[in-house]
Amino acid sequence: MPLYRTRAVVLKTLNLSEKDKLVTFLSETHGKIKCVAKAARRLKSRFGASLEPMSYVSLIYFGREHQELYRLNQCDIIQSFQEVRENPDSFYTAVYFLELADHLVAEAHPEPEIFRLLVQSLNEAGKTVTPGTLCRLFELRIMSYAGYTPRLKKCIACNRQPQSRWVGFSYIHHGIVCEPCFGKEPVEIRIQSGTVEYLKKFLSLDLNHVHRLKVPQEVETEIESITHRLVLARLGRELKSYPFIRQMAEINSTY
C-alpha cells in the first residue's frame, strides 16, 4: 500500500471508538484527507498532542489511492500556535478559519493556495490585535481561491469604472454596480468606493503584513457585509464558530 508524506493542518478530530480517532487534515499536496489514528485516545498515545485541531504538522499516512479513509502512521508537530490558543479572540478566529477550510475544500482535491493561506493566517492570528481585519481578508481570499472572486474593477452592468463616491454591490452577480446603473441591476447594498479599494488590496496583499494594516471601523463593517455574505451565499448557513467571533468583537468594542 502506498505511503504518503506531507505537511498539513489539523482541521478537526472525532472519537471513532474507545481507542481511535478520526482526524481531518488540510494537507499541502492532497487537499482534505481523513485518517484513522489508531489508539490516539490512549493517555500515552504515540501521536501526543499533534492531533489537536489547528496544529501544523508533518505526517505520514498510508492507504490505497482515492480511498476515503487512510491510516495515520506518524504525525509530528511543526507549529502548535500556542499563542493563538491562549487568547479567546485569536482562538475563535482561528477556529472559524479551520471550519471555513473544512467546508470549502473537497476531499482529495489539492488546494495549495488555500493551504498556504490557512498556515499564514494562523501565524498572523497570533500577532494581530485586530482579528476582524484578518478575518475579512481570510473570507475574501478563501472565497476567491474557491472560485468566487467578486468583480471589483468594473460595473457588472455597463462594464465601466465607477466614478462616483458610492457604488452598489450585487450578491447575485458577485460584483459592483456603478451609481447610474442602480436601476438596471439588483443592488442589495451601497458601499463607499474607498471600501472597494480596500477589498482589492485584500486580494493582493502579502499576508505577512496584515497585522500592520489599519482599516477604519466603518470600512471594516462595509467589507464584512460583502465578504461574509459571500461566505453565507456559498455555504447556505452560518458556521458554528461565527457567533463567538461576533460576541468577542462586541465585548472588545464596549471596553
Interface residues toward Zn ion, by CB under 5 A: 155, 157-158, 178, 181
Q: How far is Cα 41 from Cα 231, in angstroms, rounded to an integer?
A: 34
**What is d(CA 214, CA 128) in angstroms, rounded to the nearest whole number?**
11
Helix residue spans in 33-190 (DSSP H): 82-85, 88-104, 112-125, 131-145
CB of 191 to Zn ion, least distance (A): 15
Residue 94 CA to residue 239 CA, distance in Å, equals 13
DSSP 199: H
Q: CB of 226: closest distance to Zn ion in angstroms? A: 18
Minimum distance from residue 149 beta carbon to Zn ion (Å): 19
Taking the least distance from each CB to Zn ion, the nearer of 143 and 156 is 156
Q: Which is nearer to Zn ion, 117 or 157 (CB)?
A: 157
- With respect to Zn ion, which residue has the nearer C-beta, 126 or 180? 180
Least Å distance between CB 41 and Zn ion? 58
Among candidate residues 13, 4, 93, the one with its CA nearest the CA of residue 47: 13
Q: Which is nearer to Zn ion, 125 or 177 (CB)?
A: 177
